[in-house]
Amino acid sequence: SAVISQKPSRDICQRGTSLTIQCQVDSQVTMMFWYRQQPGQSLTLIATANQGSEATYESGFVIDKFPISRPNLTFSTLTVSNMSPEDSSIYLCSVEVAPGQGNYGYTFGSGTRLTVV
Amino acid sequence: EDKVVQSPLSLVVHEGDTVTLNCSYEVTNFRSLLWYKQEKKAPTFLFMLTSSGIEKKSGRLSSILDKKELFSILNITATQTGDSAIYLCAVPWGSSNTGKLIFGQGTTLQVKP
C-alpha cells in the first residue's frame, strides 16, 4: 500500500513568514491532495496537485496564499505564505490508493501541525 | 450543495459499552463512503463502503451503508480506552476519479476506564 512521508511534523512560526510542507509518496500517483484541519474542525480540501500542470484550488483558497509544487509523480510541496495566527492548523497530504494496492481508499500523510505566533 | 453530516458530535462512554456513530450524506454521483479514525494528526483508514446492506467488519468495528436512505453507521462493540479518537466519515465528490473527499464534522469518542 502507498506510504506517504510528510515533513515537518510540526512547527511554530512567526506571523508574516512562510512554511513549506513536503510530501513524498513511495509510488507514482497522478493526483495528490492537500487538506487543512483547523482546530476543532474537520478536514477541508485546499487543492489538488497534478503533475505537469497548475494545481486546482477549492473555493476560498488561492495560489498566492498556498502555492503548490508537483515536480514529479511522487512528490509535492505546499507553502503557507505570509502566515497569520488563523493559519494555525493541521495540514495533511493525501493520495488515492487504487484497488490491488493493499489499503484501498485514500491514504494520508502523517500531518504537519502548524502554530503561528 | 454536497454535504456529509455526522452525529453525535461527541460521545462519552465507559469501557465495554457499544457505540453507534452515524453519517448521512447528500452527494451527487455517489460512489463510496469511507470511515477514518483520527487519534493525533493523520486519519487512518477503517472502511470503504460501496454497496448497500453489506456489513464490513474488522474486529470489534463494523459498518454498513444504506444507499436508499443515504446514511452509514459505524459500530464499535466492547469499547476500550484505545478507541478514544475522532471518527470521520468522508465521501468522494465531484466527477469520477477526482479523488477529492468531503468530510463530515467528525464524532469525538471518549472511552472512560
Q: Which domains does chain B possess?
A: 3-112 (2.60.40.10)
The reply to whether B106 touches chain A by the CB within 8 Å rule is yes
Q: Give the pLDDT confidence of A94-106 residue by residue, as tens digits.
A: 998 765 544 457 8
Domain assignment present for residue A46? The answer is yes
pLDDT of residue B74 exceeding 90: yes
Nearest Cα of chain A lies from the Cα of B24 at a distance, in angstroms, of: 15
Rounded to 10 degrees, the C-alpha dihedral A13/A18/A20/A21 comes to 50
Rg (CA), chain B: 14
pLDDT of residue A1 exceeding 80: no
Domain assignment present for residue A110? The answer is no
A67: domain range?
4-100
pLDDT of residue A54 exceeding 80: yes
Average pLDDT of chain B to the nearest whole number:
93
Residue written as grid cell 459498518: B63
Task: Identify the DSSP state of A86.
Answer: G
Domain assignment present for residue A106? The answer is no
Give the residue from chain B lying closest to A105, CA to CA.
Answer: B48
**Confidence at B24, pLDDT banded by 50, 70, 90:** very high
Share of chain A above pLDDT 90, in %: 75
Residue-by-residue DSSP string for B23-60 = EEEE-TT---EEEEEESSSSEEEEEEE-STT--EEETT
Domain assignment present for residue A85? The answer is yes
Residue A43 has a pLDDT of: 94
- B-facing residues of A in 35-94 (CB < 8 A) are 41-45, 48, 90, 92, 94
Contact B40 A111 (CB under 8 A): yes
Query: Mean pLDDT across the stretch A56-66?
Result: 95
Q: What is the Cα–Cα distance from B108 to A2, expressed in whole angstroms?
A: 27
Contact A31 B41 (CB under 8 A): no
Q: What is the Cα–Cα distance from A58 to B37, expressed in whole angstroms?
A: 24
Domain CATH for A28: 2.60.40.10
Domain assignment present for residue A107? The answer is no
- A-facing residues of B in 9-68 (CB < 8 A) are 34, 40-45, 48
Share of chain B above pLDDT 70, in %: 96
Domain assignment present for residue A116? The answer is no
Residue A96 has a pLDDT of: 82
Domain assignment present for residue A55? The answer is yes
Q: What is the Cα–Cα distance from B75 to A5, expressed in whole angstroms?
A: 31
Nearest Cα of chain A lies from the Cα of B14 at a distance, in angstroms, of: 23
Total domain count, chain A: 1
Residue A102 has a pLDDT of: 46
Query: Mean pLDDT across the stretch A20-31?
Result: 93
The candidate with the shortest Cα–Cα distance to A83, out of A55, A59, A112, A111, is A112
Residue A100 has a pLDDT of: 52
